[in-house]
Amino acid sequence: MSSFDNPVAAQEQPDQIRRRLVFAGLATAGLASCGGGASSMHTATVVGVLPAADPGQVLATGGGKWPTLAVLTNNAATGSFVGTLTAALATVNFIPNVATQILAYNGGTPGPVIDTYEGDSIQINFRNQLGQDSTVHWHGLPVPASQDGNPMDPVAAGAKRDYTFTLPVGSAGSYWYHPHPHDTTPEQIYRGLAGAFIVRGRNDPFAHLPERMVFITDIRLDASGQIAANTAQDLVNGREGNQVLVNGSYQPVDTVAPGTTERWRIFDATNARYTRLALDGSSMLVVALDGCTLASPRTVTELLLAPGQRADVIVRAPQSSNQKLVLRTLVYARGAMVPVSPAVRLFELSTNASTTVPAVALPNALASPVSLPAGLAVTQSVVLSDMGMGMGMAMGMGGSSQGRFTINGKVFDPGRDDITMKAGVAEEWLIQNAGMMDHPLQIHGTSFQLVASNRADIASDPRLNAFMDVVNLVSGEQIRIRLRIETPGRRMFHCHILEHEAQGMMGIINVLA
Ligand code: C2O
Ligand code: CU
């Protein structure tokens, strides 16, 4: 297919059609029932005004009270978790007196936190009231392939699906859940469907610390305060919203006692925004990346999360009263032709007049959850490319980006196995980014270890030797990872810039028994 067969207008059409399907869903399923779980309607969290004639921009003022996330009700006894997640249309007031239509799990965005313990058996009763196919993917969790919400396993409009799995001991960490249907994953997520999934350890070394959820999403509202559809440029670069939200709120604030030490669980749940996190005048101790504890916690002044990634960090508030601690993102350039992501303020803590809380002793070594054998031969080579035949679009010549985003030269085919490996057997893979922009690669159902990179600065990078489920590769980067998938079944691997994933930058690993 030449790029002229599929002009930009045709590219945009499926999104329009899907949007109509979504609104058809509103007519039938309506705003009525939120499933049995937690969560009341989301309250107003963004304070702002609509500019008169500047579509795509909203001037938010922030400063709202700290937004605590709803928690999914567990209807089971200790040792198991049974809850209901209903995906449906809902409205929220990001802007006073403007009802913004979103897609919500149990009525809010983010969806409720699923708060569990390792060893628990889990049953999540999913109800799809979206008016289109969906699935729920348990990002990062080692669940059986049949329960992982793969695009090949859709839950039809109006249908129900109970996902069941057991959380292995050793899986404690910060995960998340989101839809993973064919084609519509980016839109379902940017319209609001995503939530945190916490697995607590029975011997958590930080259990005594207060915990703060920092669930980062970004939205783009149009001039009427509604979530804007993707543009042709979004399909190339990935969509970044125009307001970055924490727990669904714009630049919230909170107050803590001076010297308080907290554990923050930070989630980058955006479609394509890299969050290069930094605290004004303070460092953070990174104790986990994605779901996995770091054997050697690292003190850093900044930490880059790619879309889909999480970090657990330990932070201490200033030791005197009336001081501020601000978490921001720094500017990040993810390719010569991609607009630079600007620095944004995420939230602010200020210290109150209470007595200073003494410092807390922190371990400098932690038990690593997994170890994989060294000295393996490389058995797979994975090449990411963003320079396929759809190039015309980025070059301003019109045309589609279809066929541009590939893995080993191919776009996704649900009927094809791209890689086969044996369950329970460790492998070493070579992965390279032959494209022009950054791509964050996720592998489902496991955590893999980053063991090498050709980046000059890799030795000081906290990701080196860490176990993760998403790894970012900058243009020209080559890495080696070690991985083992414990259970058989077909697993997805893909770019977590969701617009790239939906256009084919995804493959299947068939894990054989
Ligand atoms: Cu977080 Cu395969 O997606
Ligand atoms: Cu990508």
Note the pLDDT of residue 489: 98
Dihedral sign for Cα atoms in the order 434, 435, 438, 444: negative
Ligand 1 centroid–CA 197 distance in Å is: 13
Ligand nearest to the CA of 494: 1
Q: What is the pLDDT of residue 368?
A: 79
d(CA 423, CA 504): 26
Q: Which ligand is located closest to the Cα atom of residue 290?
A: 1
Position in ligand 1 atom list of the atom nearest CA 470: 1
Ligand 1 atom nearest to CA at 137: 3
State the Cα–Cα distance between residues 278 and 17, nearest whole angstrom.
40
Per-residue pLDDT of the chain (513 residues; tens, 9 = 90+): 222 222 223 333 333 333 333 333 332 222 222 222 233 333 333 333 333 333 445 556 788 999 999 999 999 988 999 999 999 999 998 888 889 999 999 999 999 999 999 999 999 999 999 999 999 999 999 999 999 999 999 999 999 999 999 999 999 999 999 999 999 999 999 999 999 999 999 999 999 999 999 999 999 998 888 999 999 999 999 999 989 999 999 999 999 999 999 999 999 999 999 999 999 989 999 999 998 999 999 999 999 999 999 999 999 999 999 999 999 999 999 998 899 999 999 999 999 999 999 999 999 899 876 789 999 999 999 999 998 765 544 444 444 556 799 999 999 999 999 999 999 999 999 999 999 999 999 999 999 999 999 999 999 999 999 999 999 999 999 999 999 999 999 999 999 999 999 999 999 999 999
Q: Is 484 in the pocket of ligand 1 (CB under 6 A)?
A: no
d(CA 42, CA 69): 10
Please report the pLDDT score of residue 25 as a whole number.
31
Q: What residue owns the CA closest to ligand 1's atom 1?
A: 139
Place of tokens 């170890």: 371
* The predicted structure's pLDDT at residue 113: 98
Which atom, in ligand 1's list, is nearest to the CA of 506?
2
Query: How would you class 233 by CB atoms within 10 Å of its CB: exposed for 0-12, middle for 13-18, buried for 19 or more?
Result: middle
- Name all domains of the chain by residue range, CATH numbers in brackets: 211-351 (2.60.40.420), 378-512 (2.60.40.420)
Ligand number, closest to the Cα atom of 474: 2
Q: What is the pLDDT of residue 144?
A: 98
**DSSP string for 341-408:** BPPEEEEEEEE-SSPPPPP----SS---S----SSPPEEEEEEEES-STTHHHHTTS----TTTSEET
CA of 483 to the centre of ligand 1 (A): 17
Q: Is 350 exposed, middle or buried (0-12, 13-18, 19+ CB in 10 A)?
A: middle
Cut 0.75: pTM above it: yes
Q: Does ligand 1 come within 6 angstroms of the Cβ of 444? A: yes
Residue 504 has a CB neighbour count (10 Å cut-off) of 22
Q: What is the pLDDT of residue 401?
A: 58
Find how far residue 327's CA is from the centre of its chain: 18
User: What is the predicted pLDDT for the residue at 402?
Assistant: 63
Q: Is the distance from the beta carbon of residue 139 to the nearest atom of ligand 1 less than 6 Å?
A: yes
Distance CA 56, CA 298 (A): 39
Q: Which atom of ligand 1 is nearest to the CA of 494?
A: 2
Model pLDDT, residue 60: 62
The atom number, within ligand 1, closest to the CA of 178 reads 1
509 Cβ inside 6 Å of ligand 1: no
- Model pLDDT, residue 371: 83
Omega of the bond leading into 318 within 30 degrees of 0 (cis): no
| Contact of 244 with 214, CB cutoff 8 Å | no
Hey, which residues does 117 pair with through a beta bridge?
Answer: 200
The whole-number pLDDT of residue 389 equals 60
Indicate if ligand 1 lies below 6 Å from the C-beta of 504: no
User: Quick one: pLDDT at residue 20?
Assistant: 31
Distance CA 390, CA 9 (A): 14
The CA 95 to ligand 2 mean position distance, Å, reads 32
Ligand 1 pocket, residue 399 CB under 6 Å: no
